[in-house]
Amino acid sequence: MRAARLIKMVLLLQSRPAMTAAELARELEVSERTVTRDAQALSEAGVPVYADRGRAGGYRLVGGYRTRLTGLDRGEAEALFLSGVPGALREMGLEDAASAARLKVSAALLPSLRDASRTAAQRFHLDAPDWFREPKTPELLPAVAEAVWDDLPITARYRRGEEEVVRELEPYGLVLKAGVWYLCARVLGPGSFRVYRVDRFAAVEPGAGKRFERDGGFDLPAFWEERAAQFARSVLRAEVVVRLSEEGVRRLPHAVGPVPARAALEAVGAGTGRDGGGWVTVTLPVESEEVAHTQLTALGPEVEVLAPDALRERFARGAERLAALYRP
């Protein structure tokens, strides 16, 4: 435990000019007194850790000291090589850089761990696109990725419906969702963060070498999670009331999606609202009656639509036609 912490402390100091005891304590999740003892232990072991005194002081490594990555165990080394997505890197034009980085990491590892990239690739593979969908790389993705990487503002022409709009953007991050690339960017002027589909960019012009100042509080995973949840809720503009059998409850998330299914079932609560036959009545958020008809048809006799009347009548007509087809 302590050995791993000491290695992490050295790697932290390698990555920054200097760190205060409080910063190290926060990163290592220990007390400042423990940081002092660990720094002393590293110094006694020959690692040149120097402590600057005073208000602006802290710990740093002297003499350009670098350590080899000999503190990684096999699990850590294999996890490191799993952190990249080869297909995504290739689409962004970063395959050569990623390959060079993997070679350098492999060279720094202990000989017994240098097959970590091969053993990890043999056991895990990420296939991002949906089934039955031909993945297509957006033509402008490499240019957008380069702007994201270098913190360069861009002027973009974006297709919105039948028209094109021009946007000046600060590109913060790229997200690959179900085979579709999205850009999370801040709009110059209003300063708000928005999401754009990369395949809808008609043109992208990078700024003239002047980088923008990133918002240090921006968290790409958290931002994407929040916007994805907002989008899922925004499309659910209507409601239908249905009765579900136990099998219908189990299959509901697969038919309508996890977000509306969860909203409907959580409102009912466990063990409540069931009739004598074990059926439960729920109010289900949906995009529209048209979409609800298509989705709920997949549940067959495990669902009964109670409202609105127009949708119930539509199911009744469909049931009559289906019965006529199979009547002896």
- Whole-angstrom distance, CA of residue 306 vs CA of residue 273: 15
User: Digits of tens for pLDDT over the chain (328 positions)?
Assistant: 677 788 888 888 887 788 898 899 998 889 989 999 998 888 888 888 888 876 667 898 887 777 765 566 666 665 666 555 666 667 777 666 666 666 666 666 666 766 766 776 667 676 777 777 777 788 999 999 889 988 999 999 999 888 999 999 999 999 988 888 999 999 987 789 999 999 999 999 987 768 899 988 899 999 999 998 888 778 888 999 999 999 999 999 999 988 889 888 887 764 445 676 789 999 999 989 999 999 999 999 999 999 999 999 999 999 999 999 998 8
Long-range contacts formed by 249-253: CB under 8 A, 24+ apart:
249/280, 251/298, 251/299, 251/302, 252/284, 252/299
Q: Which pLDDT does position 70 carry in this prediction?
A: 56
Give the rounded distance of the alpha carbon of 50 from its chain centre: 39
Q: Which pLDDT does position 157 carry in this prediction?
A: 95
Q: Which pLDDT does position 271 carry in this prediction?
A: 46
Which pair of structure tokens corresponds to residue 189? Answer: 């002027």
Q: Which pLDDT does position 72 carry in this prediction?
A: 62
- Using CA atoms, how far residue 88 sits from 15, 81, 107, in Å, is 26, 14, 24
- Whole-angstrom distance, CA of residue 168 vs CA of residue 53: 46
**Cβ proximity of 142 and 203 under 8 Å:** no
Q: Which pLDDT does position 296 carry in this prediction?
A: 95
First to last CA, the chain: 74
pTM score of the predicted model: 0.60
- Using CA atoms, how far residue 102 sits from 10, 162, 196, in Å, is 21, 44, 31
Exposure on the CB side of residue 131, measured as CA atoms within 13 A: 0
- Whole-angstrom distance, CA of residue 11 vs CA of residue 76: 15
Give the rounded distance of the alpha carbon of 76 from its chain centre: 21
Q: Which pLDDT does position 107 carry in this prediction?
A: 62
